[in-house]
Amino acid sequence: MKISSAIFGALLSLGVSATYAETFKVCADPLNPPYSDKAQTGFENKIAALFANSLNQELEYFWLPQRIGFLRNSLNAFTDENAVESKDFKCDIVMGMPEGSDMLLTTQPYYHSTYVLLIAKGRGWDHIQTAQQLAELPLVQQAKLKIAMFDRGPGTDWLQKHDLLDQGIPYQSMTGDSQHNVAMQIEQDLKAKKIDMVMLWGVFAGHIISGHPSDYHVIEMQSESGIKFDYQMTMGVRRGDKARQEVLNKLIIEKSTDIAAILAQYHIPLLPITQSPAKKD
């Protein structure tokens, strides 16, 4: 497959040679469904493959658990000490970063999602249709809640605002578990009835309900004063790498229908994208 004329023209206009990049080098977590995994079944894997194919490039991964220091040890790390002059980095692209991230240069957003209140059906909470109803439960019912609460995030802020922290069952945002990511752990504990509900990022919620959507009630959370639940997601490159940023921006526009089709497979709650200028250095 040849590079589209629009993309090729962008490369030339930016002064990028035909050998600019023979590989589409992605920094990714090897066990982070539904984003990415080594089997390349995640939606970020599929979008990366779509882009690499469009550019007639070989898709290559640098695998690293997405923990503290991820960008420093992947996107901004040289392959070895001899690669400093050649600027041969371990990888060039992070497929998912919140809009406005200041640690790297981001593209325009390619999807927009929100946290949801995910409730397992048949546990006595089927009457809950809004988050506000949860907040207004009588104290005797609040005492029966088994809701997952993360060490940080808007869900915990919401529980605190509505005096429900005592009902929260604590979880860590980064498990450090080589066998489970957050979505996998929450799915396991919901099935085991250790918890009945959770306020969870929509991407992870989509992963949980994908196998049995009829088993859960999904309530999209609305951002409110002091608590932001929805985020637009972008791709990220190294600061200063404006040529690659521009190529990705053009692909996001050109392949928007294909991207939407991929995302639709993962039960991710999607909101309309609010277009904004890509971040500049």
**pLDDT tens per residue across span 75-128:** 999 988 666 666 789 999 999 999 989 999 999 999 999 999 999 999 999 999
**pLDDT tens per residue across span 147-198:** 999 988 999 999 999 999 999 999 987 765 556 788 899 999 999 999 999 9
The C-alpha atoms of residue 89 and residue 75 are separated, in whole angstroms, by 7
- pLDDT of the residue at 80: 81
- pLDDT of the residue at 182: 87
- pLDDT of the residue at 19: 40
Write phi, then psi, for 58 (nearest 5 degrees). Answer: -80, 135
| Tokens 């309530």 belong to residue | 219
- pLDDT of the residue at 70: 95
Give every CB contact of residue 98 below 8 A, 6+ residues apart in sequence: 231, 232, 233, 234
Distances in Å between the Cα of 53 and the Cα atoms of 5, 93, 189, 246 are 14, 15, 39, 17
The C-alpha atoms of residue 62 and residue 197 are separated, in whole angstroms, by 35
- pLDDT of the residue at 65: 92
- pLDDT of the residue at 21: 61
52, 1 Cβ separation under 8 angstroms: no
The C-alpha atoms of residue 17 and residue 272 are separated, in whole angstroms, by 36
Give every CB contact of residue 260 below 8 A, 6+ residues apart in sequence: none
- pLDDT of the residue at 177: 59
The C-alpha atoms of residue 178 and residue 170 are separated, in whole angstroms, by 19
Sign for the CA dihedral angle at 131, 135, 138, 140 comes to positive
Which domains are delineated in the chain?
5-111+231-264 (3.40.190.10), 113-220 (3.40.190.10)
**pLDDT tens per residue across span 221-263:** 999 999 999 999 999 999 999 999 999 999 999 999 999 999 9
The C-alpha atoms of residue 263 and residue 206 are separated, in whole angstroms, by 10
- pLDDT of the residue at 82: 65
